[in-house]
Amino acid sequence: MWKVSASNLLSGRSFQAWFETEPEATQWSQKMIAKDAWGKKARQAIKGDGSYDESLVLSEFDITDPLTSEVKTVVSLRDEYDHSIDEIQTTDSGSDAKELRAQVAEEKISQWKIFTEFGKKVQLYFTALINERDFTQEQKDSIQSSAEILQILNELNFGRIAKAKQMVDSLSTDETLFYSDDLTAISLYMSDFLERFPVG
């Protein structure tokens, strides 16, 4: 990953952004610089005109107005900001690497949280369908402890919705413990989800 860091020398404000590649980081930096997002770029000004901070002055020189022969002092000013583009590895030991590791982890968690949370909903839906049937406690225990159901629940716990759906579709319906209406309802529920989030 590549980290772009910038700080305004006058206000103290800091900025940062992360990118997968160096060209992406460079292109984004150039856009920010072009619109003075971090502060004004290096420039020249007339000394004492009040348009700059003295801490930005790098050098100065005199010029003579050819029409009035008036001598003016021009100051060369540096950028109002510092910025850098650095490659950060997740295996590094610095604070940037720690930040990157946390960011990578959070992105992965956010991506898969959708699937694991949906897996929990499917389990609750299945539980509701079982509870609505006129089953004895022994039948409920038999359903929930069956090898096929335990495998499906395991896939749902890990957010592997597509795999769980395949297993649901392959279940044999006996209309005693596994009812076709229930399995079809669960399968369609997962199908609808996978149309929106096909990765699971």
Number of domains comprising the chain: 2
Looking at residue 54, what DSSP letter applies? G
The confidence score (pLDDT) of residue 48 equals 87
Give residue 200's pLDDT.
62
Task: Establish if 95 belongs to a structural domain.
Answer: no
State residue 7 phi and psi, 5-degree precision: -145, 135
Predicted model pTM: 0.55
Low-confidence ranges of the chain (pLDDT < 50): none
Which residues, in sequence order, are CB contacts of 115 under 8 Å at separation 6+? 159, 160, 161, 197, 199, 200
177 is a domain residue:
yes
b vs e for 59-89, b when ≥16 Cβ sit within 10 Å of the residue's Cβ? eeeeeeeeeeeeeeeebebbbbbebeeeebe
The reply to whether 111 falls in a domain is yes
What's the confidence (pLDDT) of residue 175?
Answer: 74
Residues 81 and 114 in one domain: no
Averaged pLDDT of the chain:
90
So what's the pLDDT on residue 172? 82
pLDDT at 24: 94
**Domain range enclosing 183:** 102-196
Do 106 and 83 lie in a common domain? no
